[in-house]
Amino acid sequence: MSPPKATQSNSLRNIVIEAVTPTIDCARYPVKRIAGENCVVEADIFGEGPTALAAVIKWRRAQDVSFAEAPMALIENDRWRGEFPLAENARYVFAIEAWTRAFKSWNEYFMKKAASGLDAASDLTEGIALLENIGQRACAKDRNLIADHIARLRALENPRQAVAIVSAPELAAVVDRNEERSDAVNYDRTSAIVADRPRARSGAWYEIFPRSQGIQPGHHATLREAEARLPDISDMGFDVVYLTPIHPIGTTYRKGPNNSLIATPDSPGSPWAIGSSAGGHMAIEPRLGTLDDFDHFVAVAERLGLEIALDFAIQCSPDHPWVTEHPEWFRHRPDGTIKYAENPPKQYQDIYPINFDSPDQKGLIEELHRVVLFWIEHGVKIFRVDNPHTKPVAFWEWLINTVQEKHPEVIFLAEAFTRPKMMRVLAKAGFTQSYTYFTWRNTKIELTEYLTELTQTAMIDYFRPNFFTNTPDILPPILQDGGRPAFKSRLVLAATLSPSYGIYSGYELCENEAIPSTEEYDHSEKYEIKTRDWNRPDSLREFVARINAIRRGNPALQQFATIAADLKK
Using CB under 8 A as the binding rule, the residues of this chain from 350 to 389 that contact a second copy are 356-359, 361, 365, 389
**Residue of the chain from 66, 116, 443, 535 that contacts a second copy (CB under 8 A):** 116
Residue 50 or 553: the one with the smaller Cβ distance to a second copy is: 50
Q: What is the four-CA torsion angle of 118, 120, 121, 124, rounded to 10 degrees?
A: -170
Buried b (16+ CB within 10 A) or exposed e, 8-46: eeeeeeebbbeebbbbbeeeebbbbbbbeeebebbbebb
Tell me if residue 460 falls in helix, strand or coil. Answer: helix
Residue 108 annotated in active site: no
Residue 20 or 411: the one with the smaller Cβ distance to a second copy is: 20
In the region spanning residues 189 to 208, those forming contacts with a second copy, defined by CB under 8 A, are 189
Q: Pattern 392-421, binding to a second copy, x per CB under 8 A?
A: xxxx--x--------------------xxx
Supply angle C-alpha 314, 320, 326, rounded to 5. 80
Give the nearest distance from C-beta 48 to a second copy in angstroms: 6
Residue 386 annotated in active site: yes
- Give DSSP secondary structure letters for 228-265: GGHHHHHHTT-SEEEEPP-S-B--TT--BGGGBSS--T
Give the nearest distance from C-beta 248 to a second copy in angstroms: 21
Question: Which one of the listed residues 225, 293, 386, 508 is annotated catalytic?
Answer: 386
Give the nearest distance from C-beta 26 to a second copy in angstroms: 4
Rounded alpha-carbon distances, angstroms, from residue 3 to 7, 110, 168, 241: 11, 21, 30, 76
**Residue of the chain from 42, 232, 328, 473 that contacts a second copy (CB under 8 A):** 328
Supply angle C-alpha 207, 211, 217, rounded to 5. 110
Q: Please list, in sequence order, all residues whose beta carbon lies within 8 angstroms of the beta carbon of residue 236, skipping any fewer than 6 positions away.
A: 206, 508, 541, 544, 545, 548
Distance of alpha carbon 534 from its chain centroid, rounded? 34
Buried b (16+ CB within 10 A) or exposed e, 272-304: bbbbbebbbbebbbeebbeeebbeebbebbeeb
Taking the CB of residue 205, how many other CB atoms lie within 10 A of it? 23
Examine residue 112 and tell whether it contacts a second copy (CB under 8 A). yes
Taking the CB of residue 151, how many other CB atoms lie within 10 A of it? 10
Question: Checking DSSP bridges between strand 68-76 and strand 90-100, what pairing results, if any?
Answer: unpaired
Stretch that binds a second copy, among 157-165, 285-293, 327-335, 377-385 (CB under 8 A): 327-335
Stretch that binds a second copy, among 112-120, 167-175, 438-446, 496-504 (CB under 8 A): 112-120
Residue 333 or 569: the one with the smaller Cβ distance to a second copy is: 333
**Residue of the chain from 66, 73, 122, 155 that contacts a second copy (CB under 8 A):** 122
Give the length of the chain: 569
**Residue of the chain from 265, 336, 516, 537 that contacts a second copy (CB under 8 A):** 336
Give the nearest distance from C-beta 366 to a second copy in angstroms: 12
Question: Which one of the listed residues 196, 415, 511, 525 is annotated catalytic?
Answer: 415
Examine residue 66 and tell whether it contacts a second copy (CB under 8 A). no
Examine residue 457 and tell whether it contacts a second copy (CB under 8 A). no
Rg of the chain over all Cα atoms, to the nearest angstrom: 31
Stretch that binds a second copy, among 168-176, 285-293, 344-352, 551-559 (CB under 8 A): 344-352
Total interface residues for a second copy by CB under 8 A: 71
Preceding omega of 345 cis (within 30 degrees of 0): yes
Residue 401 or 559: the one with the smaller Cβ distance to a second copy is: 401
In angstroms, the first-to-last Cα distance of the chain is: 65
Stretch that binds a second copy, among 194-202, 235-243, 334-342, 406-414 (CB under 8 A): 334-342
Examine residue 16 and tell whether it contacts a second copy (CB under 8 A). yes
Examine residue 27 and tell whether it contacts a second copy (CB under 8 A). yes
Examine residue 341 and tell whether it contacts a second copy (CB under 8 A). no
Asked if residue 371 lies in contact with residue 339, where contact means CB atoms within 8 angstroms, the answer is no
Residue 157 or 335: the one with the smaller Cβ distance to a second copy is: 335
Q: Please list, in sequence order, all residues whose beta carbon lies within 8 angstroms of the beta carbon of residue 337, skipping any fewer than 6 positions away.
A: none
Tell me if residue 6 falls in helix, strand or coil. Answer: coil
Examine residue 117 and tell whether it contacts a second copy (CB under 8 A). yes
Q: What is the DSSP letter of 48?
A: S
Nearest one of 252, 363, 250, 377 to 310, comparing CA atoms: 377
| SS3 annotation, 172-230 | HHHHHHHCCCCCCEEECCCCCEEEECHHHCCEEEEEECHHHCCCCCCCCCCHHHHHHHH
User: Which helix (H) or strand (E) is 387 found in, with range?
Assistant: none
Give the nearest distance from C-beta 520 to a second copy in angstroms: 20
Nearest one of 371, 373, 387 to 320, comparing CA atoms: 371
Residue 318 or 502: the one with the smaller Cβ distance to a second copy is: 318
Q: Pattern 143-182, binding to a second copy, x per CB under 8 A?
A: ----------------------------------------
In the region spanning residues 36 to 55, those forming contacts with a second copy, defined by CB under 8 A, are 44, 46, 48-49
Give the nearest distance from C-beta 355 to a second copy in angstroms: 8
In the region spanning residues 91 to 110, those forming contacts with a second copy, defined by CB under 8 A, are 109
**Residue of the chain from 118, 139, 549, 565 that contacts a second copy (CB under 8 A):** 118
Give the nearest distance from C-beta 338 to a second copy in angstroms: 8
**Residue of the chain from 61, 81, 113, 378 that contacts a second copy (CB under 8 A):** 113
* Secondary structure tally for the chain: helices H, strands E: 16, 21
**Residue of the chain from 169, 265, 344, 553 that contacts a second copy (CB under 8 A):** 344
In the region spanning residues 503 to 522, those forming contacts with a second copy, defined by CB under 8 A, are none
Give the residue numbers marked as catalytic: 386, 415
